[in-house]
Amino acid sequence: NLVQLYWDIILLTESKFLLPQYRQQQQSLKSFQKYVVDKMGVTLNRMVKPVKVPYSRTGNLNTPWRQLGIKYLMVYLPLHFKDVIWCKCDQFCFHVILPQNNASSALRRGISNDKEWLLSLLELGDKLGMQSIRIYIGRDDFNGVSTFLRNLNWIGGRLVPNENRAG
Amino acid sequence: DLIFGDENYIILEFEC
């Protein structure tokens, strides 16, 4: 049961990156599951025989979201988000997928009270020994995060360009 | 692989 729980967490976290048009297709979900299981095998091998990859802030290459995580976490910040926050860590980066359509009430009201949950996540990333944290905010929640984005420089964040999937 | 995408998200990065 514990192993099944781990797989569920991994699959649910990774499924947050499924494109909407594929979420309802049985065949796509099967290939998604196979993909994750196969890649997790590679990830486990890498953990047994670790290869050091240089960290770079300039590109996505070293910390792609598409690489499976080494650790998966369900984070719960009930004062700020109603839903569980799905997270994963690779070697350097703590990936946090904020619940869609469910941002904190403070965010929704546009009150600059984003610091608390951000600080909590930064502290957690630090505790986990991560160099950086990537926060994935649903585009359909853009209105809710506009205040947050306006203050980005002030809070020391930067926007990461989307991956060139065609490339 | 092509059924995954980060188009759904705005991605912000912070140093810990």
Q: Whose structure tokens read 């770079």?
A: A56
Q: Is the pLDDT of residue A10 over 90?
A: yes
Q: Which two tokens stand for residue A147?
A: 């205040």
Poorest-pLDDT segment among A2-16, A54-68, A93-107, A134-148:
A54-68
Test A132 with B7 for CB contact under 8 angstroms: no
Chain A residue numbers touching B9 (CB-CB < 8 A): 97, 136-139, 162
Q: Is the pLDDT of residue B13 over 70?
A: yes
Sheet holding A157-160, edge to edge: A71-75, A85-89, A93-97, A132-138, B9-15, A157-160
Q: Is the pLDDT of residue A114 over 70?
A: no
CA distance A87 to B3: 20
Q: How far is B2 from chain A (nearest CA, A)?
A: 8
Q: How far is B6 from chain A (nearest CA, A)?
A: 6
Test A19 with B8 for CB contact under 8 angstroms: yes
Cβ neighbors of A48 (< 8 A, separation 6 or more) are: none
What's the pLDDT score for residue A85? 94
ipTM metric: 0.83
Quickly count: other Cβ atoms within 10 Å of residue A125's Cβ: 23
CA distance A94 to B16: 9
Pairing status of strand B9-15 against strand A132-138: antiparallel
What's the pLDDT score for residue A112? 45
Residues of B near A (CB-CB distance < 8 A)? 1-16
Chain A residue numbers touching B5 (CB-CB < 8 A): 17-19, 165
Q: Which two tokens stand for residue A167?
A: 């490339």
What pairs with residue A72 in β-bridges?
A88
